[in-house]
């Protein structure tokens, strides 16, 4: 069975998803590319052999020759387009975050619950990264004892847009850690504090967060959107009797001129290439069978991430520790 896909958004992530579905994994075909810019949509459609180009995302979602949808348009469109997919009864792989507003996430969870089944798989691809898979397994197998702390470093070369702010480090970048740490530890957050050192220029400075979990663990997250030297994600899960440290995958090391060196990716697409393939394979299976993937994030996870992010922005702007208040998970989202 070939799943016919609508790719909404022909920017960095829409293009990458279209390429993965077209040339890296079997089972899917890009039927239509939709973008506010018809020229940009046409370029992507041409490169992946899509049958059609559109500028109206809701019309693309409703097409009879579209079985499933990938939403990779700007963050503020994710929730409304997920709602449109639920209304049309089309499985959707929606890029993170589901929304920067927990209230808007709740509209999506409410619509999905009312529909009686899951439609939205959220693109928190880190859950599929082997490092986190192994951390979670080590914990489950009792190899490091009870989890005490998880340390995370998330560094980008530079901010993706000129209007990127310190708050967006928390609402756009850190949700990856909010989600994957919650997934690895299997716990919720109780409180968050956030701090920023001062840079010597006007660029967005790093944001350092300390989160307390409801299980009494501590989580540190450094997001540095202007690290300059490369895309660098590190992490360590510390238990009472051992620890698991992430080793960034590398395929070669250069030795020359009395020096040893390795290359950094410029952004997340290379570092998480295999995680994206695994995630997208799971999405095609979900679209074909209706069975929600075991690992993937869902709308509830999107709401959980948005709730922490909101508290994090308040912690940063008000320079205080803020409680994270997430209601009890409805049975509908139990795994």
Which of 31/225 has CB closer to ligand ISE? 225
| Shortest spacing between CB 12 and ligand ISE, in angstroms | 9
Which of 45/268 has CB closer to ligand ISE? 268
Question: Does residue number 100 form part of the binding site for ligand ISE (CB under 6 A)?
Answer: no
DSSP class per residue in 282-293: HHHHHHHH-PPP
Question: Does residue number 160 form part of the binding site for ligand ISE (CB under 6 A)?
Answer: yes
| Shortest spacing between CB 255 and ligand ISE, in angstroms | 30
DSSP class per residue in 60-128: HHH-TT--EEEE-S-GGGHHHHHHHHHHHT--EEEPSPS-S-HHHHHHHHHHHHHHTS--EEE--GGGG
Q: Which stretch binds ligand ISE (CB under 6 A): 58-66, 169-177, 200-208, 279-287?
A: 169-177
Which of 111/128 has CB closer to ligand ISE? 128
Which of 15/31 has CB closer to ligand ISE? 15
Buried b (16+ CB within 10 A) or exposed e, 117-143: ebbbbbbbbbbbbebbbebbebbeeee
| Shortest spacing between CB 167 and ligand ISE, in angstroms | 13
Question: Does residue number 230 form part of the binding site for ligand ISE (CB under 6 A)?
Answer: no
Question: Does residue number 173 form part of the binding site for ligand ISE (CB under 6 A)?
Answer: yes
Cβ atoms of 85 and 92 closer than 8 Å: yes
Question: Does residue number 15 form part of the binding site for ligand ISE (CB under 6 A)?
Answer: no
| Shortest spacing between CB 87 and ligand ISE, in angstroms | 26
Say how many C-beta atoms besides its own lie within 10 A of residue 228's C-beta. Answer: 10
């Amino acid at each position: 069975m070939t799943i016919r896909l609508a790719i909404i958004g022909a920017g960095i992530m829409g293009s990458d998803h279209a390429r993965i579905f077209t040339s890296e994994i079997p089972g899917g075909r890009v039927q239509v590319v939709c973008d506010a810019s018809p020229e940009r949509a046409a370029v992507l459609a041409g490169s992946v052999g899509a049958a059609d180009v559109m500028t109206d995302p809701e019309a693309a979602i409703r097409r009879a020759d579209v079985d499933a949808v990938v939403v990779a348009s700007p963050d503020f469109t994710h929730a409304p387009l997920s709602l449109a997919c639920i209304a049309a009864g089309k499985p959707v792989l929606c890029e993170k975050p589901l929304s920067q507003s927990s209230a808007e996430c709740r509209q999506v969870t409410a619509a999905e619950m009312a529909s009686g089944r899951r439609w939205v798989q959220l693109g928190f691809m880190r859950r599929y990264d082997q490092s986190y898979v192994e951390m979670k397994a080590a914990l489950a197998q009792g190899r490091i004892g009870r989890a005490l702390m998880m340390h995370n470093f998330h560094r980008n070369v530079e901010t993706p847009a000129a209007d990127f702010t310190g708050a967006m480090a928390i609402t756009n970048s850190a949700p990856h850690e909010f989600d994957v740490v919650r997934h690895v530890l299997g716990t919720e957050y109780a409180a968050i504090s956030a701090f920023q050192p001062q840079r010597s220029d006007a660029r967005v400075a790093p944001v350092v967060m300390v989160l307390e979990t409801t299980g009494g663990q501590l989580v540190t997250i450094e997001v540095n959107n202007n690290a300059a030297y490369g895309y660098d994600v590190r992490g360590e899960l510390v238990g009472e009797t051992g620890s698991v440290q992430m080793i960034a995958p590398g395929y070669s090391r250069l030795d020359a001129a009395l020096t040893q060196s390795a290359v950094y990716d410029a952004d997340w697409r290379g570092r998480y290439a295999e995680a994206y393939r695994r995630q997208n394979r799971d999405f095609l299976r979900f679209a074909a069978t209706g069975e929600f993937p075991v690992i993937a994030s869902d709308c509830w996870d999107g709401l959980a991430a948005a709730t922490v992010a909101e508290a994090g922005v308040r912690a940063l702007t008000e320079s205080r520790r803020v409680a994270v208040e997430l209601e009890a998970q409805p049975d509908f989202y139990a795994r």
